[in-house]
Structure 1
Amino acid sequence: MSQPPVPVRCRERPQAGGLVVPFISYEHAGHAVFGAINPRRRSLALLRALCQICGQQLDERLCLTVRPMDFQAGAAPEPGLHPECLAYSARACPMLSGAVAEYRTTAASVNHPAGKPCSDPACPCPRMLPDPHHEIRSGRPADAWDSWMIHRRHYRVKQNPQQPGQLLGIDLDVPVLRIRPLRRSPRHHLDEVHTRRMRALDL
């Protein structure tokens, strides 16, 4: 299967298996773990308004990937993307493209690439585990995903009022320029609830 063309912005990023390694990807033993997020890079991207794929500054118009649960929580937990980086991800990422039906399990994601738990005391992985969202969604059926385009002037990071310093993600209570479906979930009833909420907000 041929890989989608790499956007110009991403040509300096490392690749694995012909795919661009996102800026926020978790790495273990020198290998990128697709589907797992480096919490430090996530925070950096959120606070500095960097694209989660290429790591460059976001432009005047940026995109967010939003699930029904994110809409309900009022924040998109993953950093924003350039429109062209999102277009690439929508084809290259098996979750966004609909190629997989569920999230990979945490054990399969964070173990050594050879499939064995890490036993290297010098490896930073025991001190820097993937983000807690990865643990929560491990092995669950895939969610529905939408793309929201917002203006940079409405970009703001939402923090957890009960835990100062914890970044919930990008605030979704902002004007939205455009919404497009990325993938639909087999859990139709949740999609219907999400659609009704969106219509109620006239989005």
Structure 2
Amino acid sequence: MTGLPLPVRLLGRPRVGGLVVPFISYEHAGAALFGSVDPRRHAAALLRRLCQICGQRLDERVCLIVRPMDVRAGIAPEPGLHPECLAYTAKACPMLSGTATHYRTSAASIRHPAGRPCGDPDCPCPRIAPDEQHEIRSGRPADDFDSWMIRAENYRIKKDPQRPERLLGVDLDIPVLRIRPLRRAPRPRLDSEQAELLRTALRSLGL
């Protein structure tokens, strides 16, 4: 969607194809890969309490984008957002709006203007390895997503106890003001034979 109204905070952000490039996205030579993460900006956003979309300081109310796996781990890997930045992102991002059915397969598709892939030894740009979360998600079906609204006083960053310099994300063992669904991924339908097998298995378990 390219005709979405922009919050005032996002008016100064660069755009590609009419869409705002998030602050934490990987950018190089005027190109940006939506869905990828620049690990330097990601760390800066977490440590300095910056919005992952506009790059400005977070306010009293902070929104988090949370998946079921994040709840189980107790950590949201992405930095927080302003409520208005989340509202824009929920409509503009294909993953959150439901347009995309799978995650992108690689962060290596950004190319230097001369045609060389970013990371080429002859390219003068800083080489940045794809972030760990991107590699884990690569090519997988889309997840469910919820938005959590919390108070800034409860916005806490968790670090790897074995490697304190490694930031894991935002602690989810916190009071939550509000939870709203952002996207529900489609579930595969069972054919009649699969459904009967499932019913038989459940009956054998006494369910």
Q: Verify same fold: TM over 0.5.
A: yes
Q: What is the identity percentage for the equivalent residue pairs of Structure 1 and Structure 2?
A: 65
Q: Please list every run of 5 or more consecutive structure 1 residues that lacks an aligned counterpart in the other structure.
A: 189-203
The Cα of 1:112 is off from its aligned counterpart by 1.6
CA distance in 2, matches of 1:128, 1:105: 17
CA positional deviation for 1:113: 7.3
1:167–1:187 distance in 2 versus 1, CA, 3 Å: farther
1:4 shift after superposition: 1.1
Rounded Cα–Cα distance in structure 1 between residues aligned with 2:78 and 2:187: 22
Matches within 5 A, 1:32-181: 32-106=32-106, 109-112=108-111, 117-118=117-118, 119=120, 121-124=122-125, 127-181=127-181
Larger radius of gyration: 2
Q: How many residues align?
A: 186
CA RMSD after TM alignment: 1.8
85-94 vs 6-15, greater mean Cα deviation:
6-15
Give the match for residue 197 of structure 1: none
Kindly provide the CA deviation profile for residues 84-117 of structure 1, in whole angstroms up to 9, marking residues without a partner as x.
000000000000000010001115x534278863
Describe the SS at the equivalent of 2:62.
strand
TM-score, normalising length: structure 2 = 0.84
Alpha-carbon separation, structure 2, partners of 1:31 and 1:86: 23
Shift of 1:3: 2.4
- Residues 145 and 137 of structure 1: CA distance in aligned 2, closer, same or farther (over 3 Å): same
Tell me which moved more, 84-93 or 15-24: 15-24
Q: Which residue number corresponds to residue 8 of structure 2?
A: 8
Amino acid at match of 1:63: C
Partner Cα distance (2:81, 2:61) in 1: 9
* Inter-CA distance 121–84: structure 2 relative to 1 (3 Å threshold): same
The runs of 5 or more residues in structure 2 that have no matched partner are 189-207
Tell me the alpha carbon deviations over residues 39-81 of structure 1, each in whole angstroms, 9 at most, x when there is no partner.
0000000011100000000000010000011111111100100
Note the C-alpha offset of 1:30.
Answer: 2.5
Cα 1:29–1:152, aligned 2, differ >3 Å: closer, same or farther? same
Counterparts in 2 of 1:111 and 1:19: CA distance versus 1, 3 Å: closer
> Deviation string for 1:133-191 (max 9, x for gaps)?
00110000000000000000001100111222111100000000000000012248xxx
Which moves more between the two structures, 172-181 or 156-165?
A: 156-165
Q: Distance in 2 between matches of 1:143 and 1:106?
A: 17
Q: By percentage of residues, which structure has more helix?
A: 1
- Report the alpha carbon displacement of residue 28 of structure 1 after superposing the two structures with TM: 2.8
Match of 1:186 in 2: 186
What letter is aligned with 1:122? C
